[in-house]
Amino acid sequence: MTGSRAPEKTSSPRVALVIQYLGTNYHGWQRQPQAQSIQATIEDAIATVVGYKVTIYGAGRTDAGVHAAAQVAHFEYQGPIPAEKWAKILNSRLPDDILIRSSAVVPNNWHACFSALWRRYRYTIYTDKVANLFLNQVTWHYYHAPLDELLIQQALETLLGQHDLAAFMRTGSDRKHSWVNVQDVKCYRQDALLQLEIQADGFLYGMVRLLVGMLIEVGSCKRSLGNFTQIWQNKRREEVKFSAPAKGLCLLRVGYPKFPFPQNLWFDTQPMYVLAQ
């Protein structure tokens, strides 16, 4: 398979995918030379069908251990397979922790990354002192101090708008700038589950996990709201020292001006966990 070549380029259909995955066993979305990734796993599955290597392009590069409820990607291929059949074909070839929810043809100028208007992430924290095995893979078990969701919401709201968020960018990024347009934020509690959501036109490398690490300090009253705001406004990256665990983070959805999938397939497909009383 590795020596196979794609046929001569002609008009090729472009197929969009809505993808769910548990990132626990993967080194992130992006293909890695010596580590398992979501992108490479799906590309290998496509290659078993078409007989040559195909590149898929994702809406966002989730980090190692991060999950996705509705990642979006696209690829092109040549052959008779209808676009809507690809989800079923790939699911029969993918491991149980990756699922293609749907596939559809899109125009050849439509791009999973560059056509996106926004991405939305959700971070889930489990605050009960007693561990819960069924939540362990998808939440951060934080019970060391009470968390005030109203304080966290106030801190999140300071980020709304277009800002330079260099304080929340991990080293190693190839991004040429650190400006982000934060469009919506939300913090809410359901019993022992605290969930934070942030929507933006794009995200910096490691941004959400670094941000959650600081918000925990605000919510536990270890850091004042004023101090939090001063740190990010003055780009004091050296004071942002803790990154929240990857397993609590999920790429919730991606927004497009024209999207070929019905809302129930992509809008809010990570379960809202409810704990029994």
Catalytic center residues: 63
Q: What is the spatial distance between Cα 251 and Cα 249, in angstroms, rounded to a whole number?
A: 7
Instruction: Please give the backbone phi and psi of residue 169, each rounded to the nearest 5 degrees, phi first.
Output: -120, 120
Under 8 Å CB-to-CB from 131, ≥6 apart: which residues? 141
**Nearest of 124, 144, 130, 140 to residue 220 by alpha carbon:** 144
Q: Give the angle subtended at the CA of 133 by the CAs of 127 and 135, to the nearest 5°.
A: 50
Q: What is the spatial distance between Cα 59 and Cα 112, in angstroms, rounded to a whole number?
A: 5
DSSP result, 167-193: GG--TT---S--EEEEEEEEEEEETTE
Instruction: Please give the backbone phi and psi of residue 216, each rounded to the nearest 5 degrees, phi first.
Output: -60, -40
Q: Coil, helix or strand for 129?
A: coil
Other CB atoms within a 10 A radius of the CB of residue 218 amount to 22
Encoded tokens for 214:
């600081």
Instruction: Give the chain's radius of gyration (CA, Å).
Output: 20
Q: What is the spatial distance between Cα 87 and Cα 110, in angstroms, rounded to a whole number?
A: 19
DSSP conformation class of 32: B
Exposed/middle/buried for 104, CB within 10 Å: 0-12, 13-18, 19+?
A: buried
